[in-house]
Amino acid sequence: MPDRIELAVLDEAVSQRLDSYISAAVDGLTRSGVQILIDKGMVTVNGNTVSKSYKLRKNDKIVAEMPEPEISEALPEHIPLDIVYEDSDLLVVNKPKGMVVHPAHGNLNGTLVNALLYHCKGSLSGINGVIRPGIVHRIDKNTSGLLIVAKNDSAHVGLSVQIKAHSFTREYEAIATGVFKETAGTVDAPIGRHPNERKKMCVTMQNSKNAVTHYEVIKQYGGYAHVRLRLETGRTHQIRVHLAYIGNAILGDDVYGKPYKGLDGQCLHARKIGFIHPGTAEYMEFESSLPDYFEKILLKIGKM
């Protein structure tokens, strides 16, 4: 199946539902599968995202972006891990910048999941399937910092409930571009799939979810700022999208901002994580020191 499907609506399809029309026109796509694509914002009509019940009009231009096929399995690999904490229910890992969390096309090995499968000898929760065992939440490839992993399904459920209730503590630090007019504030803007670029997210009212990010400027550097951020929600690329939205894209973010010489991807670090342990019901909190790449950039911009 191609990565992108384009359809033009002719007379006989006028007034049909969008989901029914696509599933009938494209071999291998079920109506439920099409509905998932529409809900994810991967289907547009005349360049706009619409609902699955949208009634087609003559000459409508439909574009459907096809997701990459799932990988059948992930294999254990002996890759060193920086483990901050571990017990029989969970572990907290300090992920380095550049490491992908789970296998995907283009990154089939060398991921955090490959390393976890080796370290945990198969003792990981299975709720998220064979490609994402133990993964309760994710951080981007070029974001460094703390990530919690569930070793069993009970722990996974207990942690997921906290994330859904926004009771997880997730604090980040970033170097952002531009000058902040306010030294502290909140970005409350819904995030959904970009209507034209399926690998990007954006602030939008179409097929989106509420997203809230709190920020505090630690120090301004004349064109740059060292910022502390706290997630109230956890949408894909949330901090990166929100900072770009207010005009302060993260330094080095080549998707939502601009590349920065000598830096591979955005300067963003998951500094602190806190949660109620699903087994003991005790609150636990962990911090990670800023990595070398982050410290070096702070020194560099401090001399400008």
Cα dist from 180 to 228, 234, 259, 269, whole Å: 13, 23, 20, 19
Task: Say what the pLDDT of residue 112 is.
Answer: 94
Better-predicted residue by pLDDT, 209 or 173: 173
Task: Say what the pLDDT of residue 71 is.
Answer: 62
- Measured CA to CA, the distance from residue 171 to residue 67 in angstroms comes to 31
140 is catalytic: yes
Tell whether the model's pLDDT for residue 116 goes beyond 90: yes
Task: Say what the pLDDT of residue 5 is.
Answer: 86
Q: Which one-letter DSSP state was computed for residue 91?
A: E
**CB-based contacts of 99, cutoff 8 Å, min separation 6:** 110, 111, 112, 141
Average pLDDT for 234-259: 96
Where is average pLDDT lowest: 50-54, 101-105, 277-281? 101-105
> Is the Cβ–Cβ distance between 218 and 244 less than 8 Å?
no
pTM score, two decimals?
Answer: 0.79
Task: Say what the pLDDT of residue 69 is.
Answer: 61
Task: Say what the pLDDT of residue 96 is.
Answer: 96
Candidate list 60, 89, 140, 253, residue with the active-site label: 140
Task: Say what the pLDDT of residue 259 is.
Answer: 94
Tell whether the model's pLDDT for residue 1 goes beyond 60: no
Average pLDDT for 9-22: 89
What the chain holds in terms of domains, given with CATH numbers, is: 4-65 (3.10.290.10), 70-165 (3.30.2350.10), 167-275+285-304 (3.30.2350.10)
Average pLDDT for 174-190: 96
pLDDT band at 68 (very low <50, low <70, confident <90, very high): low
Task: Say what the pLDDT of residue 72 is.
Answer: 57
